[in-house]
Amino acid sequence: MPDIARRFAENPILRPADVAPSRDGLNIECLLNPGVFRYDGRIGLLLRVAERPMQEEDWVSTPILDPHQPSGIAILKIRKDDPDLFYPDPRLFQYQGKTYLTTLSHLRLAWSDDGVRFQVEDKPTLLGLGELESFGIEDARVTEMDGTYYLTYSAVSPSGVGVGLISTRDWRTFERHGMVIPPSNKDCALFPQKIDGEYAALHRPSGVMIGGNFIWVSRSPDLHHWGKHRCIAWTRPGMWDSVRVGAGAEPILTSHGWLEIYHGANADSRYCLGALLLDRDDPAKVLARSLEPIMEPTAPYEETGFFGKVVFTNGHLVDGDTVTIYYGASDEVICGAKFSIQEILASLGKQWA
Ligand code: MAN
């Protein structure tokens, strides 16, 4: 089944130039991978805003949060011909054996009445805080339960990437719960309701030496302590999701089970979207999984950009049969697309029957 996404005619709906940098001296390079929610009659995006200093020709420079600096950030600046520099990927580099990100991300709110035209707030909403977030915070998933919005996000630092948790009821005051799943772990999507009286989450540990980048499901009594771990979706050699897979936003409850839109990448780091159907009562049971992507990077803004050939989503809204995803294209601009839930289920064939 080919790409079944109906992209917004207005794409990209937000670009770096639409947003004000968080401080003098930094440039916004990328807007990406927003969390999505409804609050007070409006649609909210929690954007990931990635910044760095204006790049000079022979240098690479990146900001790092540092409470010891009066400005709160230090700039690491290295000559490109330095033999200790290894710069294989626009997203990260290695220097003297340590890995750094090329940009520093914060999270920022944008609001809309129609889901297409968004007003971005002038200032960051949430910045990395403390030593486990000194390389920034990224890719927040938003799940509402009983009027509380839970944000699960990637907390990045020299110690690795783990899952942080923040909650809010009003989008003005935030409670920070710290890191709830340690490195290496990301792509954490909470289920929107308890299962057997427990919270449940999809997440993506990364195995070193043995194992890999697979999707797991776990349970928790309190969102802090996670157990009953099960690995449910592996990478598939030779396929579009051969190197890494990770959950998108919260699973959607359908009459056939939990539908999860996930991302998969191959050895060329080409990121596509696919679907998983999980048992309603025991989401560790996978009922069906896309053989072909339901969305692939094909539009010009998805094929070329800061990091090309990427469609990546971690936020959506559901209205009846329609799921509207908001997604990062080429790790540079924000776009929207709609799917029919029935069409996604039909694309899975009769695997779950
Ligand atoms: C990783 C994360 C995402 C990013 C993709 C594609 O999974 O850094 O934020 O969008 O890679 O580059």
Q: What is the pLDDT of residue 2?
A: 80
Nearest CA to ligand 1 atom 2: 139
Q: Is the pLDDT of residue 353 over 60?
A: no
Please compute the mean of the pLDDT values over residues 148-164 and round it to a whole number.
98
DSSP code, position 298: -
Q: How remote is the CA of residue 17 from the centroid of ligand 1, in Å?
A: 21
Domains, the chain, with CATH or none: 6-352 (2.115.10.20)
Q: How remote is the CA of residue 197 from the centroid of ligand 1, in Å?
A: 33
Q: What is the pLDDT of residue 350?
A: 73
Q: What is the pLDDT of residue 101?
A: 98
Which pLDDT band holds residue 349 (cuts at 50, 70, 90)? confident
Mean pLDDT of the chain: 97
Q: How remote is the CA of residue 196 from the centroid of ligand 1, in Å?
A: 33
Please compute the mean of the pLDDT values over residues 108-113 and round it to a whole number.
98
Q: How remote is the CA of residue 256 from the centroid of ligand 1, in Å?
A: 30
Token readout for 188 is 């954490």
Nearest CA to ligand 1 atom 9: 139
Ligand 1 atom at minimum distance from 91 CA: 12
Counting Cβ atoms within 10 Å, is residue 350 exposed (0-12), middle (13-18) or buried (19+)?
exposed
Is-contact 233 286, C-beta < 8 A? yes
Tell me how far apart the alpha carbons of residues 275 and 259 are, in angstroms, rounded to a whole number.
Answer: 7
Nearest to 312 by CA among 293, 289, 292: 293
Q: How remote is the CA of residue 313 from the centroid of ligand 1, in Å?
A: 10
Q: How remote is the CA of residue 311 from the centroid of ligand 1, in Å?
A: 9
State the Cα angle at 153 between 133 and 109, rounded to 5°. Answer: 95
Nearest CA to ligand 1 atom 1: 312
Please compute the mean of the pLDDT values over residues 79-108 and round it to a whole number.
97
The proportion of the chain whose per-residue pLDDT surpasses 70, expressed as a percent, equals: 99
Among 104, 139, 163, say which to mutate for ligand 1: greatest number of ligand atoms within 8 Å of CB.
139
Over residues 49-65, the pLDDT tens digits come to: 999 999 999 999 999 99
What residue spans of 212-257 are helical by DSSP H? none
Is-contact 26 47, C-beta < 8 A? no
Beta bridge partner(s), residue 322: 319, 340
Among 47, 48, 91, 326, say which to mutate for ligand 1: greatest number of ligand atoms within 8 Å of CB.
91
Q: Is the pLDDT of residue 1 over 60?
A: no
The proportion of the chain whose per-residue pLDDT surpasses 90, expressed as a percent, equals: 98
Token readout for 130 is 């403390």
- SS3 category, 13: coil
Q: Is the pLDDT of residue 262 over 70?
A: yes
Q: What is the pLDDT of residue 352?
A: 62
Distance of CA 153 to the CA centre of its chain: 7
Please compute the mean of the pLDDT values over residues 269-285 and round it to a whole number.
98
φ/ψ region of 348 (left if φ > 0, alpha if ψ in -120 to 50, else beta) reads alpha
Q: What is the pLDDT of residue 165?
A: 99
- Any ligand 1 atom below 6 A from CB of 301: no
Please compute the mean of the pLDDT values over residues 260-266 and round it to a whole number.
98
Q: How remote is the CA of residue 255 from the centroid of ligand 1, in Å?
A: 31
- Any ligand 1 atom below 6 A from CB of 310: yes
Measured over the CA atoms of residue 213, residue 48, residue 4 and residue 286, the dihedral's sign is positive
**Residue keyed to tokens 């050895």:** 267
pTM of this structure:
0.97
